[in-house]
Amino acid sequence: MRISSSTSNNPVRSMTGFAALRATTSEGDLTCTLRSVNHRGLDLHFHCSAEFAPFENEMRGLLKAHIARGHVDVRASLTRSATNGMPFVNQGVLKHYVALFRELSGELNLTGQPDLNHLLGLRGVIGESTGANELPEAYLGELLAALGTCVNNLNEQRSREGGQLSAEIAKQAAEIERCTDAIAAIRQAAIPVFTERLRERLRELIGSTTITEARLVEEAALLADRSDIHEEIVRLRVHTQELQKVLASGGEVGKRLDFLLQEMNREANTTLAKSAGAGEPGIQMTALGLTVKANIERIREQALNLE
C-alpha cells in the first residue's frame, strides 16, 4: 500500500473535503467515505458497522499519519458477496423433528409422512453460518489499502482547495505590503506634525513647576515613541514577509498564520491610533490602515480553513 505524503510537495491543505471509494474485496464490496471540516485539532469520528470494530485502532493510526487537523467523519460499509452468510439447513434439528414426528405417528397409529416444506419452516431448521458478521484478521490489509486510497483522494481535494486559498491570501498580503509602503511614504509628510505635537507636549511639561528632570526625560522618551509610527511600519512589514514565507513553506500553516495575523492586527491598530490628529496625512494613513485591517480580517477568515 502506498500513501502519498504531504512532505513530497508540502502542499497547503484546506481542512474541508470529501472522498468516497468503492472497492471489491474478498468479503464483498467495501465502501469508504471521509468527510472533513474545520477543527482546532484532529477529531476522528467513526460511523462503521460492528464488523469493523476490531480494526478501528489500525484505521485510526493510518488517518492520524496523513491528516493533521480537522473534524473527520469516517464511514465504512461492506456489502457481503453471495457466498458469505448463506442460509443452511441445521440437519440435527431437522432430524429431531422427523424422529419426533415418526415417534408420535407410531404412538397415535398415524400413517402420514412428514412434509419437507413444512419441516423447513420450523424454528431452528434454517439458519445462517455462525460468525457471518465477523471478518477474518487477514481482511485488515484490504481494508487499510482501500482506506489509504480514500485518504489520498481526500488530501488531493484538500490540497487543491488549499492552493486556491493560499493564492487569495498571497494577493491580500501583497495589498497589505502596498498599503504599508504607502503609509511609510505619507509618514515623511507627517513627521513635522508628529514633531510639533511632541514639542507642544514638552513645552507643557517644561512649564510645569513640579516636574523633575528625570520625569521630563522619561516623558520625552514616551512621547517620542507615541508620536511616530516608524516601528509599527517596520514590524508590519516583517510580519507580512513572514506570512508569505509561511505560505511558501507549505505544510501545516493554519496556526502559524493565526499568530502572525494577531501581531499584524496589533501593529495596524497602533498605527491608526498614532495617526489620529495628524492632519491631512493622518487622514490618508487612517484610510490605508483600515484597508490593512480589512485585508488582515479576510486572511484570518481564509486561514481558519487551512490545516
Give the CA diameter of the chain. 134
**pLDDT band (50, 70, 90) for residue 4:** very low
Give the C-alpha separation, 189 to 219, whole Å: 25
Q: What is the mean pLDDT of residues 209-229?
A: 56
3-state secondary structure at position 89: strand
Inter-residue contact 264 to 296 (CB < 8 Å): yes
Give the C-alpha separation, 139 to 242, whole Å: 48
pLDDT at 167: 93
Residue of higher predicted confidence among 42 and 190: 42
Q: Could you give the C-alpha distances from 245 to 7, 158, 178, 298, in angstroms and in order?
A: 16, 21, 17, 18
User: In whole angstroms, how large is the CA radius of gyration of the chain?
Assistant: 36
- Percent of the chain residues topping a pLDDT of 70: 79
pLDDT at 8: 46
Between the ranges 6-15, 49-58, 105-114, 290-299, where is the mean pLDDT highest?
290-299
pLDDT at 102: 84
CATH class of 159-303: mainly alpha
DSSP characters over 109-131: T------HHHHHTSTTTEEE-TT
11 phi and psi angles, rounded to 5 deg = -75, 155
Phi-psi region of 23 (alpha: psi -120 to 50; beta: other; left: phi over 0): beta
Inter-residue contact 25 to 169 (CB < 8 Å): no
Inter-residue contact 154 to 36 (CB < 8 Å): yes
Domain boundaries, the chain: 17-83+137-158, 87-128, 159-303
Is the pTM for the entire model greater than 0.75? no
CATH class of 17-83+137-158: alpha beta
Which residues lie below 8 Å from residue 237, measured CB to CB, with a gap of 6+? 177, 180
**90-104, 200-214, 240-254: the lowest-pLDDT one:** 200-214
Inter-residue contact 38 to 15 (CB < 8 Å): yes
**pLDDT band (50, 70, 90) for residue 130:** very low
Q: What is the mean pLDDT of residues 136-143?
A: 93
pLDDT at 5: 38
Predicted confidence (pLDDT) per residue in 171-192, tens digit: 999 999 999 999 988 877 666 6
Predicted confidence (pLDDT) per residue in 48-71, tens digit: 988 899 999 999 999 999 999 999
pLDDT at 243: 94
Strand extents, DSSP E, 100-223: 126-128
Predicted confidence (pLDDT) per residue in 109-126, tens digit: 878 788 887 777 787 777
